[in-house]
Amino acid sequence: MKILLYVPTLEFPYKHILGARVTFDDLKRLDSNLHNGLIWYLENKLDDIYEFTDEIDGEVYDLKANRRNIAVTEANKKEFVDLKAANRMTIAIEKQLNEFVKGFHDLVPQEVISILSHEDLKLLTSGMPPADGK
């Protein structure tokens, strides 16, 4: 008996393989709670209580040089959200991403996939999801 298991994968690693920019929307599948929390920041008035930092597993990342002591305000909160999302999908996992991309390119050279979009690359590596959900 043959059983196929479709496991949906995240979009942002494919963007890294192709050298494309990750976006705030890419965060939704990685961490929906963080994504929703950042949407709350965008939709509500802030009281200047946040800093331009991101803490992951006890490590604090400056989201922008010399911004640790600068508050997130109405004027700069969109920049904060974009930087925090990028940090989670790039900077905080940079070592692992670099090794993943290097390993992928050891198998498939960049010039072979350079004409593909990240959606095409995902389809080629992961296949199509089942149409009937079975």
Residues 83 and 111 reside in one and the same domain: no
Could you tell me the two tokens for 2? 């043959």
Report the Cα 39 to chain-centroid distance in Å.
15
pLDDT computed for residue 107 by the predictor: 92
70, pLDDT greater than 90: no
- Of 2-6, 9-13, 25-29, 98-102, the poorest mean pLDDT is in 2-6
- What is the CATH classification number for the domain harbouring 72? 3.30.2160.10
Task: Compute how many other C-beta atoms are within 10 angstroms of the C-beta atom of residue 47.
Answer: 10
Establish if 5 belongs to a structural domain. no
Residues 27 and 60 reside in one and the same domain: yes
Residues 73 and 99 reside in one and the same domain: no
Establish if 133 belongs to a structural domain. no
Residues 105 and 121 reside in one and the same domain: yes
Per-residue pLDDT averaged across 36-60, rounded?
85
Structure confidence at residue 41 as a pLDDT band (50, 70, 90): confident
Mean pLDDT comparison of 10-14, 53-57, 61-65, 103-107, highest-scoring range = 103-107
Q: Which domain holds residue 103?
A: 92-126
Residues 50 and 107 reside in one and the same domain: no
* Helix 32-43 and helix 77-89, axial crossing angle in degrees, nearest 10: 170
Q: What is the pLDDT of residues 79-104, one digit of tens each?
A: 989 999 999 999 888 999 999 999 99
pLDDT computed for residue 7 by the predictor: 52
pTM of the complete model? 0.74
25-32, Cβ contacts within 8 angstroms, sequence gap of 24 or more: 26/85, 26/89, 27/85, 27/88, 27/89, 30/88, 30/89, 31/88
Residues 40 and 98 reside in one and the same domain: no
Amino acid found at 26: D
Which is more confident, 64 or 132?
64
Establish if 15 belongs to a structural domain. no
Answer whether 60's CB lies under 8 Å from 54's CB. Answer: yes
Which is more confident, 50 or 109?
109
